Amino acid sequence: MSPLLGAGAPVLAFDVGGTDMKSALVDADGALLGVRRTPTPVQPEHTERAVLPLLGELARELRAQHPLVVPEAIGLVAPGVVDDETGIGLFSENLNWRDVPFRRLAAEQFGLPASFTHDVRAAGEAEYRLGPSSRFRDVLVVTIGTGIAAAVFIDGEPYAAGGYAGELGHSVITPDGESCACGGRGCLEAIASAGAITRRYNRVAGAGVTGAKDVLARAQSGDADAAAVWSSALDALALGLSHAVALLAPEAIVLGGGLAQAGDALFVPLAERLERFLTFHRRPQLMHASIGENAGLVGAAMRARAVLEHA
Amino acid sequence: MSPLLGAGAPVLAFDVGGTDMKSALVDADGALLGVRRTPTPVQPEHTERAVLPLLGELARELRAQHPLVVPEAIGLVAPGVVDDETGIGLFSENLNWRDVPFRRLAAEQFGLPASFTHDVRAAGEAEYRLGPSSRFRDVLVVTIGTGIAAAVFIDGEPYAAGGYAGELGHSVITPDGESCACGGRGCLEAIASAGAITRRYNRVAGAGVTGAKDVLARAQSGDADAAAVWSSALDALALGLSHAVALLAPEAIVLGGGLAQAGDALFVPLAERLERFLTFHRRPQLMHASIGENAGLVGAAMRARAVLEHA
């Protein structure tokens, strides 16, 4: 199977997440070499000061393992609010940084051209460019995992709004509802993310399950608490998506992230609920994300190559 | 005062609304001549068959009054779902038409190049191009009158999504709430449009006021029913706008239409409520529409001139 990403310059790709960071060397054929997951060294403040040296170490190991693949650029992605144009991480509530010029810092540290963008936008771009939704012009790629966020494509191009676009997870579904990590209440993410489904179920049932898929399994075997939590999460997701449909009328909504692995147990009832909120609106095609768990790395590599092309 | 629209080709402009239609001849300086309001001849079906001949009559009168102004194109705008690219009125729930090729029909009838677009998008474009929000790239122009709809500008360009974008009024705020003209329930338009505010107040108070401004006046003089209706409308508007802010993070939201004439009584409590739904989100500047009641005609004229420029 030829690599999804295709031919281009060899680059280093890093996807820094709230829990783990992934790293890989991408060769000239677009293959991801040495994909590895490392715990993110989260600090009470300035997590970037621990992350950047670790990227250096990971890069040295990758280079030692694959001495013939010489990276020409580095692609770095991270969560939070990221301003792609300036390459600055404006804010991350989980990684405790503010206004960090990652693009410049990475370029200086590696002595290579660097790109820095948002993890969900990068993964969404990989999904949109390389997946089946590429035949549409107006698309949302929604990632439902620990959090919920969307990558917005308008007329074929990513729309970032200075790093603030796509915060579907921080749309209020239930005013004065569940507390959210962002400081708000009743956000979609606090009701319907995989993390929220797990937390909410454990709270009502006094249980200790470790993932939303356990909640779904219990719902499917007749656990009423689990069924109620799962159902209310779907209601909230459908309502949040219906607002996006009314305003933007995307041709397709691609769902990815951990929760999307539930497959039909998610897609069928979600489509049914979404339909109830729509009348004359244009129906989006609901699609499964196709790129898999390394979409963030693929997106980081795409952006790194783009930096070289525009240099 | 020089006309807002500026110099260009003379054109005929028509803004067909659910109740009234407006017509004007626009001269080479951009002045609107003979602006006139005529009741829309709404039919149980095929309202277009009564509207188009009436446009012809209005045009003949305008030409007779201003024989030296020779229109070179016609700009027509209407509500409902309009596909700008094909010039087709796909659907209007108030004017009872479906799939009417207005652009072609108008061009044939007048023997002139014609444009056909959506009333709210046309008025929004006039507001965005000619008003103070023109200094921003990402803008929503929201019209709150009989209904609620938005014109969406992304990176300086109108975003139509095949005619389906901007239906903020048909975002569900209260699942299973008030019935809406669109066939849905709990839509923003059914709670917070000027029409809905009037209807809802008359129903709870057993009153017969004729406009939202009467409801506001009663709320301000201590009528508890009026205050409750007004307040719940503001809550719904703020929630609807907060979803747009989370997804698109527009730099500005311009509010126009009848309800916006309430001024500070709308803007101050709305801004306060919107703020409660936001945390790290980018704040939009809330702006008053500046073009006034003929924005639809101005927008129709702009589009008609654009047809000549692209011919």
Kindly tell me if the per-residue pLDDT of B297 is higher than 50. Answer: yes
Q: Give yes or no for B170 touching A (CB within 8 A).
A: yes
| Chain A: closest CA distance from residue B246 (Å) | 5
Q: Give yes or no for B249 touching A (CB within 8 A).
A: yes
| Chain B: closest CA distance from residue A242 (Å) | 7
Q: What percentage of residues in chain A have a pLDDT greater than 90? A: 93
Q: Give yes or no for B277 touching A (CB within 8 A).
A: yes
Which residues does residue B14 pair with via DSSP β-bridges, in sequence order?
B23, B76
β-bridge pairing B114-118 and B97-100: unpaired
Kindly tell me if the per-residue pLDDT of B184 is higher than 70. Answer: yes
Residue with tokens 């006034």: B292
Question: Cβ B165–A247 below 8 Å, yes or no?
Answer: yes
- The Cα–Cα gap between B140 and B159 comes to 10
pLDDT, tens digit, 9 for 90 and up, residues A84-137:
999 999 999 889 999 999 999 999 999 999 999 999 999 999 999 999 999 999
Q: Give yes or no for B46 touching A (CB within 8 A).
A: no
- The Cα–Cα gap between B281 and A32 comes to 35
**Direct distance between the N- and C-terminal alpha carbons of chain B, in angstroms, rounded to an integer:** 31
- The Cα–Cα gap between B215 and B268 comes to 17
In this structure, what is the dihedral angle of CA atoms A239, A243, A245, A249, given to the nearest 10 degrees? 180
Q: With contact defined as beta carbons under 8 Å apart, do B124 and B143 qualify? A: yes
Q: Scanning every residue of chain B, which has its alpha carbon at the shortest distance from the alpha carbon of A81? A: B280
Q: With contact defined as beta carbons under 8 Å apart, do A139 and A100 qualify? A: no
Q: Scanning every residue of chain A, which has its alpha carbon at the shortest distance from the alpha carbon of B90? A: A280
HSE at residue B173, side-chain half, CA atoms within 13 A, is: 26
Q: Which amino acid is at B191?
A: I
Residues 6+ positions from A175 with CB-CB distance below 8 Å: A185, A186, B235, B239, B277
Question: Cβ A150–B279 below 8 Å, yes or no?
Answer: no
Contacts of B243 in chain A (CB under 8 A): 171-172, 240, 243-244, 247
Please report which confidence band the pLDDT of residue B19 belongs to, taking 50, 70 and 90 as the band edges: confident
Question: Cβ A280–B172 below 8 Å, yes or no?
Answer: no
Ramachandran angles phi, psi of B118, nearest 5°:
-80, 140
User: In the prediction, which pLDDT does B94 show?
Assistant: 84
Q: What is the 3-state secondary structure (H, E, C) of chain A?
A: CCCCCCCCCCEEEEEECCCEEEEEEECCCCCEEEEEEEECCCCCCCCHHHHHHHHHHHHHHHHHHCCCCCCCEEEEEECCEEECCCCEEEEECCCCEEEECHHHHHHHHHCCCEEEEEHHHHHHHHHHHHCHHHHCCCEEEEEECCCEEEEEEECCEEECHHHCCCCHHHCECCCCCCECCCCCECEHHHHHCHHHHHHHHHHHHCCCCCCHHHHHHHHHCCCHHHHHHHHHHHHHHHHHHHHHHHHHCCCEEEEECHHHHHCHHHHHHHHHHHHHCCCCCCCCEEEECCCCCCHHHHHHHHHHHHHHHCC
What average pLDDT does the segment B52-68 reach?
97
Question: Cβ A247–B155 below 8 Å, yes or no?
Answer: no
Query: What class, spelled out in words, does domain A11-124+293-309 have in CATH?
Result: alpha beta
Calculate the alpha carbon distances from B157 to B7, B55, B139 in Å: 22, 29, 9
| Chain B: closest CA distance from residue A91 (Å) | 9
Contacts of A152 in chain B (CB under 8 A): 247-248
| Chain B: closest CA distance from residue A28 (Å) | 34
pLDDT, tens digit, 9 for 90 and up, residues A5-29:
999 999 999 999 988 999 999 999 9
Contacts of A183 in chain B (CB under 8 A): 279-280
Q: Quick one: CA dihedral B92, B94, B100, B105, positive or negative?
A: negative
Question: Cβ B281–A164 below 8 Å, yes or no?
Answer: yes
Token duo for residue B215: 């409801």
Please report which confidence band the pLDDT of residue B198 belongs to, taking 50, 70 and 90 as the band edges: very high
User: In the prediction, which pLDDT does B162 show?
Assistant: 92
E strands of B85-205, at which residues?
Answer: 88-92, 97-100, 114-118, 139-144, 148-154, 157-159
- The Cα–Cα gap between A154 and A150 comes to 13
- The Cα–Cα gap between A259 and A145 comes to 6
Residues 6+ positions from B121 with CB-CB distance below 8 Å: B82, B84, B151, B158, B160, B166, B299
> Pick from A175, A246, A277: which is nearest to B168 by CB?
A246
Token duo for residue A197: 């489904």
Contacts of B183 in chain A (CB under 8 A): 279-280
Contacts of B191 in chain A (CB under 8 A): none
Q: Which residues of B45-57 are buried (b: 16+ CB within 10 A; e: fewer)?
A: eebbeebbebbee
Contacts of A189 in chain B (CB under 8 A): none
Question: Cβ A161–B240 below 8 Å, yes or no?
Answer: no
What average pLDDT does the segment B204-229 reach?
97
Contacts of A164 in chain B (CB under 8 A): 249, 281-282
Q: Scanning every residue of chain B, which has its alpha carbon at the shortest distance from the alpha carbon of A149? A: B247
What average pLDDT does the segment B240-248 reach?
98
HSE at residue A187, side-chain half, CA atoms within 13 A, is: 28
β-bridge pairing A11-16 and A73-78: parallel
Q: Give yes or no for A173 touching B (CB within 8 A).
A: no
Chain A segment 110-169 residues within 8 A of B by beta carbon are: 138, 150, 152, 154-155, 159, 161-162, 164-168
> Pick from B166, B171, B282: which is nearest to A162 by CB?
B282
β-bridge pairing B139-144 and B252-256: parallel
- The Cα–Cα gap between B158 and A220 comes to 46
DSSP conformational letter for B207: -
Please report which confidence band the pLDDT of residue A2 belongs to, taking 50, 70 and 90 as the band edges: low
CB contacts < 8 A (A, B): 120
Helix (H, G, I), strand (E, B) or coil at B266: helix
> Pick from A182, A247, A282: which is nearest to B162 by CB?
A282
Question: Cβ A162–B249 below 8 Å, yes or no?
Answer: yes
- The Cα–Cα gap between A11 and A26 comes to 5
Kindly tell me if the per-residue pLDDT of B170 is higher than 60. Answer: yes
Nearest CA among A161, A83, A93, A139 for reference residue A116: A83
What average pLDDT does the segment A17-43 reach?
95
Sequence spans of domains, chain A: 11-124+293-309, 135-288
Between CA B155 and CA B158, with CA B156 as vertex, the angle to 5 degrees is 100
Contacts of A239 in chain B (CB under 8 A): 172, 175
User: In the prediction, which pLDDT does B1 show?
Assistant: 46
HSE at residue B145, side-chain half, CA atoms within 13 A, is: 17
Q: Give yes or no for A182 touching B (CB within 8 A).
A: yes
Question: Cβ A154–B150 below 8 Å, yes or no?
Answer: no
> Pick from A164, A184, A249: which is nearest to B249 by CB?
A164
Helix (H, G, I), strand (E, B) or coil at B259: helix
Question: Cβ A247–B282 below 8 Å, yes or no?
Answer: no
CATH code of B134-288, in short, is 3.30.420.40
- The Cα–Cα gap between B247 and B154 comes to 12
Q: With contact defined as beta carbons under 8 Å apart, do B188 and B170 qualify? A: yes
Question: Cβ B182–A93 below 8 Å, yes or no?
Answer: no
- The Cα–Cα gap between B291 and A282 comes to 30
Q: Scanning every residue of chain A, which has its alpha carbon at the shortest distance from the alpha carbon of B176? A: A277
Calculate the alpha carbon distances from A84 to A6, A102, A160 in Å: 24, 10, 8
User: In the prediction, which pLDDT does B270 show?
Assistant: 98
Q: With contact defined as beta carbons under 8 Å apart, do B186 and B239 qualify? A: no
Token duo for residue A45: 């403040």
What average pLDDT does the segment A276-302 reach?
96
Radius of gyration, alpha carbons of chain B: 19
User: In the prediction, which pLDDT does B2 show?
Assistant: 58
User: In the prediction, which pLDDT does A1 show?
Assistant: 46
| Chain A: closest CA distance from residue B137 (Å) | 9
- The Cα–Cα gap between B109 and A40 comes to 68
pLDDT, tens digit, 9 for 90 and up, residues B88-128:
999 998 899 999 999 999 999 999 999 999 999 999 999 99
Q: Scanning every residue of chain B, which has its alpha carbon at the shortest distance from the alpha carbon of A181? A: B279
Nearest CA among B148, B185, B153 for reference residue B168: B148
The domain defined by A135-288 folds into: Nucleotidyltransferase; domain 5 (3.30.420)
Residue with tokens 């499964």: A288
DSSP conformational letter for B95: T
Question: Cβ A282–B240 below 8 Å, yes or no?
Answer: no
Q: What percentage of residues in chain B have a pLDDT greater than 70? A: 99
Q: Which helix (H) or strand (E) holds B235?
A: helix B224-248
What average pLDDT does the segment A48-58 reach?
97
Q: Which residues of A13-23 are buried (b: 16+ CB within 10 A; e: fewer)?
A: bbbbbbeebbb
